[in-house]
Amino acid sequence: MNRSLTGLLMAMLVLPAAADAQTKPEDKVKVRVRLAPEQKPIAVMTPYAIFRSSPTAVMVMQSPEFDARSHVKKGPRIDVYDYEKLIHERSMEPAMKRMGQEQLFLDDLVWFNGKPVMIARNRRDEDVSLFYQFLDPHLTKPPPSFDPICSFPVQAKVFNTVVVKPGTLTRDRFRAFAAHDSSHMVICGPHMVDSDGGAFRLLTAVDRRMSPVWQHVLRIDARAERSELLDAAIDSKGVGYVLLRFRAKGRPYGGGAFTYETLLYRFDAGDIAPMPVGLPDGSQPTGGILRDFGKGIVWAGIYATNGEGSGKLEGNFIATMEPDSTGNLPARWLPFTGEPLSDEEISERNEASEVAEDDDDEDSKKKKSEKRLDWVTDVVDLLERGDGGWYIVNEVGFTVSRIDGETRRARRTYYHGPVLARSLDKDWNQQWSTLYRRWAITGSAVTGKLLATVFDKQLYLFLIDSDELAEQRKLKERISPKDPGKPNSVYAFFDDKGGFRIKTILKGDVARDFIGGWDLVRSGKDQYLAFGADAMGVARYLPVRIDLSKDAKK
């Protein structure tokens, strides 16, 4: 990484306009993007959490355990950075034993009820137990011992990494999701298998005191080869919602062409219930996200008709769950118009397959490496515009997973493709729809992930692009995942008609860094946290702070 500017890099270079902008938001909005300067500890592990732990501190969790790539043989680490200067202050390697008892494994770090809290689990055959531990916001005081949350009397096979199938992680984890008001938190377990081969997931919800309010074992349909947690949410009454996608074994679901099935489940103290969403005949959801805007949990997704893989994409849908919502879930359909995402995604299918075939070197072919191509086109974010309207952001994408035929080591490549941004009024009527054509290729699930926010009622995207792609867009040339150009970090801002402009960020005199993260984490009014990496594959990760403000210049 280039640190000639002390790591505090700002957006400087304006690239050619990608559409005819009717207004010039760049004249009145200042976007400041700063990367932490390189310092010890060298941050070579994948980051999984970042938040503002106090008015003056940023807390980060990194771990080598949830990624199929090669890592140094270290345990998880918690770091604290100064919020203003992003200078590293101190680190902690959690003591993962309960007063000399069993070994625990750190799964998550979350900001809950005004405190940083670690979520851990045991790892034994006879049961699965969860634990928590509060941390000092600055790591200046030693933490208390881990306290128990709950225990599930189930026997789960412990998977080791001796033989890794395509697409699997070194160790999957429990993930925690806090309610909008921090009144509750839902903790979702990974895909597990019992001694008889039956698959299941463990889920529990806690209140502010970390006391369980319910816990359930969700049994997975035997037709599913694997289940994937897409998102989860919990409301202020303790009702939880979990969005899962299932990959079919052998035959597609329902005898049709779908190889995936996406289901939303509702959990409370008394029951588990699926919530089928009302979509056009012959359609099904392909995935989605859950958002809580204080008026019920909202499911935003894409629906598709029968077709290869996830099907032919037809449009977005919006469904809102009230605490007493049960049974079938009504949804508002938002068909794609103009340059539809469905056409863009389908046009890339054959080329994506060619990419998966061509990307093997001669050694890989000799070793008969295994590979799998998965489409991950989905909704990235649903954002309130500030005037009653909405922005919904979609992204085309796929992953190629490979297992070396001799070493059995896994490698996964992520392809981030065209972005479809849509502006909707308060009644969900479309005002504009813009397709931002680009491709970015990365070896990390963190780097290159599209991040979105709203400032002054305008949409801002933070993503990976390139000068070459900008020129191709200008010339209206076809953009292919085979040649994405030399990557840059950029942000794009949209005007009232859907036109957009882009600016390069995190670029120094010599080196360039790459923005990413699991989400854009709000840390203050118009302030956000993300991550930056020094490479598009295995990389060192450092915090990024983003500030948006009105420029005082006239």
Q: How far apart are CA 431 and CA 395, in angstroms?
A: 19
pLDDT of residue 346: 57
Does residue 319 lie within any of the structural domains?
A: yes
**% pLDDT > 90, the chain:** 58
Does residue 454 lie within any of the structural domains?
A: no
Q: How far apart are CA 308 and CA 252, in angstroms?
A: 10
Q: What is the pLDDT of residues 201-247, one digit of tens each?
A: 999 999 999 999 999 999 998 888 889 999 999 999 999 999 999 98
pLDDT of residue 44: 75
Q: Are 230 and 287 contacting, i.e. CB atoms less than 8 angstroms apart?
A: yes
Q: What is the pLDDT of residues 316-337, one digit of tens each?
A: 999 999 877 777 899 999 999 8
Q: Are 379 and 401 contacting, i.e. CB atoms less than 8 angstroms apart?
A: no
> Is the CA virtual torsion 468, 421, 398, 203 positive or negative?
positive
Q: How far apart are CA 469 and CA 15, in angstroms?
A: 11
In 196-268, where do the E strands start and end?
A: 199-207, 212-219, 224-234, 240-248, 260-267
Q: Are 437 and 475 contacting, i.e. CB atoms less than 8 angstroms apart?
A: no
**% pLDDT > 70, the chain:** 79
Q: Is residue 153 pLDDT above 60, yes or no?
A: yes
Q: Bigger pLDDT: 13 or 65?
A: 65
Does residue 128 lie within any of the structural domains?
A: no
Token pair belonging to 472: 């191709």
CB atoms within 10 A of CB 81: 24
Token pair belonging to 441: 């290729």
Residue with the two structure tokens 């006239």: 554
Q: How far apart are CA 397 and CA 393, in angstroms?
A: 13
Does residue 311 lie within any of the structural domains?
A: yes
Does residue 296 lie within any of the structural domains?
A: yes
pLDDT of residue 343: 62
Nearest to 204 by CA among 252, 143, 272: 272
Q: Output phi, psi for 346, to 5 deg.
A: -65, -35
Tally of structural domains, the chain: 1
Q: How far apart are CA 496 and CA 381, in angstroms?
A: 19
Q: Is residue 280 pLDDT above 70, yes or no?
A: yes
pLDDT of residue 338: 74
pLDDT of residue 124: 77
pLDDT of residue 83: 98
Amino acid at 454: V
Q: How far apart are CA 320 and CA 382, in angstroms?
A: 13
How distant, in Å, are the alpha carbons of 50, 382, 413, 518, 520 from that of 531? 8, 21, 19, 9, 9
Highest mean predicted confidence (pLDDT) among 317-331, 332-346, 354-368: 317-331
Q: What is the pLDDT of residues 441-472, one digit of tens each?
A: 998 888 988 999 999 999 999 999 999 999 99
Reported as a pLDDT band with limits 50, 70 and 90, residue 38 is confident
Residue range 289-309: mean pLDDT, rounded: 87
The DSSP call for residue 447 is B
Q: Are 134 and 115 contacting, i.e. CB atoms less than 8 angstroms apart?
A: yes
Token pair belonging to 89: 């202050």
pLDDT of residue 17: 36
User: Out of 51-65, 164-178, 344-358, 522-536, which region has the weakest mean confidence (pLDDT)?
Assistant: 344-358
Q: Bigger pLDDT: 376 or 438?
A: 438
**What is the domain range of residue 279?**
175-335
The DSSP call for residue 27 is G
Q: Bigger pLDDT: 170 or 247?
A: 247
Q: Are 544 and 7 contacting, i.e. CB atoms less than 8 angstroms apart?
A: no
pLDDT of residue 363: 52
pLDDT of residue 375: 78
Q: How far apart are CA 120 and CA 503, in angstroms?
A: 41
Q: Is residue 347 pLDDT above 50, yes or no?
A: yes
User: Out of 287-291, 293-297, 542-546, which region has the weakest mean confidence (pLDDT)?
Assistant: 293-297
Residue range 59-75: mean pLDDT, rounded: 72
Q: What is the pLDDT of residues 403-443, one digit of tens each?
A: 766 655 667 889 999 999 999 999 999 999 999 999 999 98
Q: Is residue 71 pLDDT above 70, yes or no?
A: no
Q: How far apart are CA 393 and CA 389, in angstroms?
A: 14
Token pair belonging to 376: 């991950």
User: Out of 2-11, 219-228, 511-520, which region has the weakest mean confidence (pLDDT)?
Assistant: 2-11
Q: How far apart are CA 419 and CA 177, in angstroms?
A: 26
Q: Is residue 100 pLDDT above 80, yes or no?
A: no
Does residue 220 lie within any of the structural domains?
A: yes
Task: Write down the mean pLDDT value for the chain.
Answer: 84
Reported as a pLDDT band with limits 50, 70 and 90, residue 293 is very high
Q: Is residue 522 pLDDT above 50, yes or no?
A: yes
Amino acid at 76: P
Task: Find how far residue 257's CA is from the centre of its chain.
Answer: 27
The DSSP call for residue 428 is -
Helix (H, G, I), strand (E, B) or coil at 491: strand
Q: Bigger pLDDT: 375 or 118?
A: 118
Token pair belonging to 445: 């699930």
Q: Bigger pLDDT: 104 or 44?
A: 104
DSSP string, 267-323: E-SS-EEE--B--STTEEE---EEEE-SSSEEEEEEEEES-STT-EEEEEEEEEE-T
Q: Nearest 5°: CA angle at 122, between 59 and 540?
A: 35
Does residue 182 lie within any of the structural domains?
A: yes
Q: Are 524 and 449 contacting, i.e. CB atoms less than 8 angstroms apart?
A: no
Q: Are 530 and 43 contacting, i.e. CB atoms less than 8 angstroms apart?
A: no
Name residues whose C-beta falls within 8 Å of residue 346's C-beta, 6 or more positions apart in sequence: 307, 312, 313
Does residue 122 lie within any of the structural domains?
A: no
Name residues whose C-beta falls within 8 Å of residue 495's C-beta, 6 or more positions apart in sequence: 21, 22, 23, 24, 25, 458
Reported as a pLDDT band with limits 50, 70 and 90, residue 340 is low
Residue with the two structure tokens 């199938």: 165
Q: Are 63 and 37 contacting, i.e. CB atoms less than 8 angstroms apart?
A: no
Reported as a pLDDT band with limits 50, 70 and 90, residue 263 is very high
Determine if the pTM surpasses 0.75: yes
